Amino acid sequence: MSATFSPDMTGRRALVTGGASGIGEVTAKLLNQLGASVVLADLNADALPDAAKRTGALGTVDGNVASAADVDRMVADADAMLGGIDLLFNSAGIGDDLVPVHAQSPERWQHVVDVNLKGTYLMCRAVGRQMVERKLGAIVNVSSIVGIGAFPGRSAYGVAKAGVGHLTKTLACEWGNLGIRVNAIAPAYTRTPMVQSLLDRKIFDPTLIENRTPLGRFAETEEMARAACFLLSDWASYITGVVLPVDGGWSAYGAAGDVVKIRTGDGASAG
- The residues of the shown chain that bind ligand NAD, judged by CB under 6 A, are 17-18, 20-24, 42-44, 64-66, 91-94, 115, 119, 142, 144, 187, 189-190, 192-195
Find the shortest distance in angstroms from Cβ 183 to ligand NAD.
15
CB 37 within 8 A of CB 31: no
Number of neighbours of residue 235 by Cβ within 10 angstroms: 14
Find the shortest distance in angstroms from Cβ 124 to ligand NAD.
14
Closer to ligand NAD by Cβ: residue 134 or 169: 169
62 forms beta bridges with 42
Rounded-to-integer distance, Cα 75 and Cα 26, Å:
21
Number of neighbours of residue 200 by Cβ within 10 angstroms: 8
Q: Which of 121, 157, 189, 238 is catalytic?
A: 157
- For every residue of 81-107, DSSP letters joined together read HHTS--EEEE----------GGG--HH
- Evaluate the CA torsion angle 75, 124, 41, 231 in order and state its sign: negative
Beta-carbon contacts of 139 under 8 Å, excluding residues fewer than 6 positions away, are 87, 88, 89, 90, 124, 127, 128, 131, 171, 180, 181, 182, 183
Rounded-to-integer distance, Cα 31 and Cα 56, Å:
10
Closer to ligand NAD by Cβ: residue 117 or 180: 117
Using alpha carbons only, give the angle 140, 58, 188 rounded to the nearest 5 degrees. 30
Find the shortest distance in angstroms from Cβ 25 to ligand NAD.
7
Using alpha carbons only, give the angle 29, 220, 212 rounded to the nearest 5 degrees. 155
Find the shortest distance in angstroms from Cβ 221 to ligand NAD.
7
Active site residue 121: no
Beta-carbon contacts of 140 under 8 Å, excluding residues fewer than 6 positions away, are 88, 89, 90, 182, 183, 184, 185, 228, 231, 232
In the bound complex, which residue of the shown chain has the CB atom lying closest to ligand NAD? 22
Q: Length of the chain, please?
A: 271
Find the shortest distance in angstroms from Cβ 32 to ligand NAD.
17
Find the shortest distance in angstroms from Cβ 198 to ligand NAD.
9
The residues annotated as belonging to the active site are 157
